Chains A and B, each alone.
Chain A
Amino acid sequence: MGLLDALNTYAHKSELRESKDEIVVGQIVQGLSHQGWPCFQVVAHSDRQQMGFKTPGDPILSSVFLVVDRRTGSGLVSQALGSKTTVAIAAEMRNKVTDPDDLAAMWRADLANLFKIPVHGEVRVNHQLNKVIARTHHLLDLDHYVQGTMVDTSQLIPWLVDQIGNLREHLRPHKKG
């Protein structure tokens, strides 16, 4: 094996190692598309990808948003520490009409949220005029889903769908009509 070939191989492995979050993002887009939720928003920055999905036919939700935010460094640091990643999930519900009572609830919820300490897995509900949004976030280790050239997200997508289902139940009482 020549020197150039060896360097190329190293660069290739390094690329794949640093692509774990992108690989997982690709699997999420595909997995949720097969749930009937088309991806309509993709905003990607280095180590942080945001996706939005429409949820046609859902009785409560209008959209779901996910942010995959890789928390650890890249390269050797990432290799040593694993691939800890924050996955934030937000489910959005829309009411066609907002009335003053909704605004009062919005202010009460926002005030209550000010005193909450962010905890992984906690659900927060925010009112924004016609929208009511429930959010949660979790810490995932991407190494559970991507190891070298092996990719297995068969557990990840059902888990995400469960999380979204939980957010849906938090939003259900706020749905009108």
Chain B
Amino acid sequence: MSTLTPGTAVHWTDPSGAQQGPTPANEIVGRIERGELSPETPLWWPEAPGWTPANQAPGLAEHLQSVAPPTQAAPGGGHAIDALMAGLSDQELDDEFLALIDRSWDMYKETEKAATIDETIVGGIITALVDSGFVLIDIGTGLPPGLATAPPAGAPAAPAAGSPVGAAPSGAEAGPQHSLRFEVPTTGARVTVELQHLTPGLAASKVLNHRANLVVGYGERLGNAGQIGQALRSEVASAFVATPEPGTVSFDADISSGYVYARIELFLEPDLYVDDKLAVDHDLLRRHIAALVHTMRTFVHTRFGS
């Protein structure tokens, strides 16, 4: 069988079996290399003994040894999957998979923290005050603004609507309001806490940082109706303060149980107290709550001489 030269005109059959050509041999080689024809494409030329696969034709075989057969879809996409994973060991692929899952869990926990940091602070406040000898006597979870409900019976009123201290920053929807009331069983002294997360959700907390509104009150039980009336008049006066700023102290009374309260409203940075694993810095939280309670108690004693 004679050796083919680049210019030898050959006849060939296409994948449908139709005869084509004559075509220069070098053009057939180019089409095979581009994957347009199979290396086993049947060829015939005048000196050939019969139809010969291109990859066995003298003069072409050495050119076509490195050409892979045309890609053919295997069940399950075998060749494509092999190509996708080329150069990567099973161990490397497993490691990458686990890293992606781990990172997803990290992001999930970040979202979880953004959604629950206010309740974590509530848990920290309960722990700090119960550690100190208070008992929790009332707890309530209000609905977000717009669906708000009344605070627990006997608890001081919620911050005035529209208050800059109590309002969520522009663009953020505040979370539910948590109301707590504690009492020292032996003396009856009370502490009230209202907490509202102003930047719930991951986006708000990323842009604005976590921010909460905190109202802490200290109350004592008075038997003197005149003093309770005085506190109630102060409460009415407080209602006329349209835009209280941080540091404003107000007085309040619960006539049914005879308590008067001094209360202060301020912003709180939850991130100061709660780490990424939701562990609480109880010492710092207790220190800050103690400072607020101490000052409110001074106001009650100064105002009502109890």
Chain A residues within 8 Å of B, Cβ to Cβ: 2, 4-5, 7-8, 11-12, 15-16, 19, 22-23, 25-27, 29-30, 33-34, 38-45, 49, 51-52, 54, 56, 96-97, 149-151
Q: Which residues of B contact A97 (CB under 8 A)?
A: 101
Q: For the complex, what is the distance from the CA of A42 to the CA of B180, rounded to whole Å? A: 11
Q: Are B138 and A19 in contact (CB under 8 A)?
A: yes
26 contacts between A and B (CB under 8 A): A2-B225, A7-B256, A11-B257, A12-B221, A15-B137, A15-B138, A15-B257, A22-B137, A22-B138, A30-B131, A33-B127, A38-B120, A39-B119, A39-B124, A41-B116, A42-B126, A42-B141, A42-B178, A43-B119, A44-B141, A45-B140, A96-B102, A149-B186, A150-B185, A151-B135, A151-B185
Does A22 contact B136, Cβ atoms closer than 8 Å? yes
List 9 tightest A-B contacts by C-beta distance, closest first.
Answer: A39-B123, A26-B136, A8-B258, A149-B185, A19-B137, A30-B130, A44-B139, A5-B223, A33-B127
Residues of B with C-beta under 8 A to A11: 256-258
| Bound-state Cα–Cα, A151 to B120, Å | 24
Q: How far is the CB of A32 from chain B (nearest CB, A)?
A: 9
Interface of B is mostly: mixed
Q: What's the count of A-B pairs with C-beta under 8 Å? A: 120
| Alpha-carbon distance A42/B105, docked complex (angstroms) | 23
User: Which of the candidate stretches B5-13, B35-43, B197-205, B272-280 sits at the interface with the other chain?
Assistant: B272-280
Per-residue 0/1 for B62-97: is the Cβ within 8 Å of any A Cβ (1 yes, 0 no)? 000000000000000000000000000000000000
- A4-B223, A49-B139, A97-B101 given as contacts; is B185 within 8 A of A33 (CB)? no
State how many angstroms separate the Cβ of A152 from the closest Cβ of chain B: 11
8 A Cβ contacts from B223-281 to A: 223, 225, 256-258, 277-280
Q: Which residue on A lies nearest to B137, using beta carbons?
A: A19
Pick the residue among A7, A8, A42 that contacts B139 (CB under 8 A): A42
**By the criterion CB–CB under 8 Å, are B257 and A12 in contact?**
yes
Question: Taking the nearest CB of chain A, how far is it from the CB of B25, in angstroms?
Answer: 54
Name the A residues within 8 Å of B126 (CB-CB). Answer: 26, 29-30, 39, 42
Given A11-B256, A22-B137, A44-B139, are A96 and B101 neighbors across the interface (CB < 8 Å)?
yes
Are A40 and B120 neighbours in the complex by a CB distance under 8 Å? yes
Of B123, B127, B185, B221, the most chain A CB neighbours within 10 A belong to B123
**B154 near A: Cβ within 8 Å?**
yes
Cross-chain contact A39 with B137 (CB below 8 angstroms): no
Pick the contact of A38: B124, B188, B221, B223 (CB < 8 A): B124
Q: A30-B131, A96-B105 are contacts. A38–B141 as well, Cβ < 8 Å?
A: no
